[in-house]
């Protein structure tokens, strides 16, 4: 899979195309991607995903503080794992937002021979979202591409969407979010030096510096898988403000304790997969009470992960 940042860098080739932000690359997105990849292969064409960063709603002033399910790099990686040949992450700008649907599609057609455009049932593009499905069919007839509409994907009666996944995560419902994603929700971070308090208390933790625009689940303690150098380790993770020791922190901390792990992790990258919420973050009356609860959390996490799908 190639990941580019402009259409000028891309090879001029026949393509099957889909366009969107694809934040999270959830099960609904994966249905479109599967159709895209299979169709392109049958047609001896390349499968192409055009995505954007930042989110158009940010550039248009509809969102002040974006919180993404996936970084552009992780999104491209997930798209590639779906079998897509080429991902182009375009910088979304006000100039791009001013283009009509026809201007945007003509621009893409100047580089690629678009054979099919795949879109969800509520898809629209162009200035003011005027390029709805009806308009895109007209443009396709002019430019020379077909339009395939993919029905919404539901799970237990709910339509799968990035917004629904965000709602679950903000409530700490990581299991529900994982079911909609088709995988565990993941946060990647570099291990940095903390205050060393965990080690003093007998359970050393890796403090992670993570992408500031990543959506964090609700604060609390979680059973997690920690990936280090392509190996997976059971872990228990605390996300929050550590109220027992720091009552004035304004920024959330993400720290994880890898079970039965003794190696030095400083400056390494850890990918955390959130499996299950164990409890909310609370302030303890004493250090001994905290230690007692952490030992309970470790046992609970071990049990959860031993039976995790």
For 261-287, the pLDDT digits (tens) are 988 999 999 999 999 999 998 888 788
**pLDDT score at 199:** 60
- Residue 102 pLDDT > 60, yes or no? yes
Q: What is the per-residue DSSP string for the chain?
A: -EEES-GGGS---EEEEEES--TT--HHHHHHHHHHHHHHHHTT-EEEEEEEES-HHHHTTS-SS--BSS-HHHHHHHHHHTT-SEEEEEEP-HHHHTS-HHHHHHHHHTT-EEEEEEEETT--BSGGG-B-HHHHHHHHHHHT-EEEEEPPPEETTEEP-HHHHHHHHHTT-HHHHHHHHTS-EEEEEEEE----HHHHHT---EEEEE-TTBPPPPSEEEEEEEEETTEEEEEEEEEE--TTT-SS--S-EEEEEETT--S--TT-EEEEEEEEEEE-----SSHHHHHHHHHHHHHHHHHHHHT--
21 pLDDT band, cuts 50/70/90, is very high
97 pLDDT band, cuts 50/70/90, is very high
- pLDDT mean across residues, the chain: 94
What pLDDT digit, counting tens, does each position of 113-166 carry?
A: 999 999 999 999 999 999 999 999 999 999 999 999 999 999 999 999 999 999
Domains of the chain as residue ranges with CATH = 2-153 (3.40.50.620), 162-306 (2.40.30.30)
Rounded to whole angstroms, the Cα distance separating 157 from 272 reads 29
Rounded to whole angstroms, the Cα distance separating 166 from 179 reads 13
Contact residues for 153 (Cβ-Cβ < 8 A; gap 6+): 27, 28, 31, 159, 160
Which of 70-84, 166-180, 188-202, 224-238 comes out lowest in average pLDDT? 188-202
Select the more confidently predicted residue: 76 or 288: 76
**pLDDT score at 247:** 56
**pLDDT score at 161:** 97
- Residue 236 pLDDT > 80, yes or no? yes
Which of 62-66, 173-177, 200-204 comes out lowest in average pLDDT? 200-204
């Amino acid at each position: 899979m190639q990941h580019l940042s402009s259409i000028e860098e891309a090879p001029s080739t026949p393509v099957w195309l889909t366009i969107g932000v694809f934040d999270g690359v959830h099960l609904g997105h994966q249905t479109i991607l599967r159709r895209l990849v299979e169709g392109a292969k049958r047609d001896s064409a390349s499968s192409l995903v055009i995505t954007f960063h930042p989110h158009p709603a940010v550039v248009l002033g509809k969102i002040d503080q974006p919180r993404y399910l996936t970084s552009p790099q992780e999104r491209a990686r997930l798209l590639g794992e779906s079998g897509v040949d080429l991902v182009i992450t375009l910088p979304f700008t006000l100039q791009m937002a001013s283009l009509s649907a026809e201007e945007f599609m003509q621009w893409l057609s100047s580089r690629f021979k678009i054979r099919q455009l795949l879109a969800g049932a509520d898809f629209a593009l162009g200035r003011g979202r005027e390029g709805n499905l009806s308009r895109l069919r007209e443009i396709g007839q002019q430019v020379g591409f077909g339009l395939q509409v993919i029905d919404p994907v539901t799970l237990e009666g709910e339509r799968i969407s990035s917004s629904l996944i965000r709602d679950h995560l903000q409530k700490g419902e990581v299991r529900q979010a994982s079911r909609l994603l088709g995988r565990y929700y993941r946060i990647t971070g570099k291990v940095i030096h903390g205050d060393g308090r965990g080690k003093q208390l007998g359970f050393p933790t890796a403090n992670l510096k993570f992408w500031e625009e990543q959506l964090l689940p609700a604060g609390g303690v979680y059973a997690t898988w920690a990936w280090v150098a392509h190996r997976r380790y059971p872990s228990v993770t605390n996300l929050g403000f550590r109220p027992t020791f720091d009552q004035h922190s304004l920024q959330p901390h993400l720290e994880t304790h890898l079970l039965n792990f003794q190696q030095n992790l400083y400056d390494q990258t850890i990918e955390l997969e959130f499996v299950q919420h164990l409890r909310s973050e609370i302030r303890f009356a004493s250090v001994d009470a905290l230690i007692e609860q952490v030992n309970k959390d470790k046992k609970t996490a071990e049990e959860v992960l031993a039976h995790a799908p």
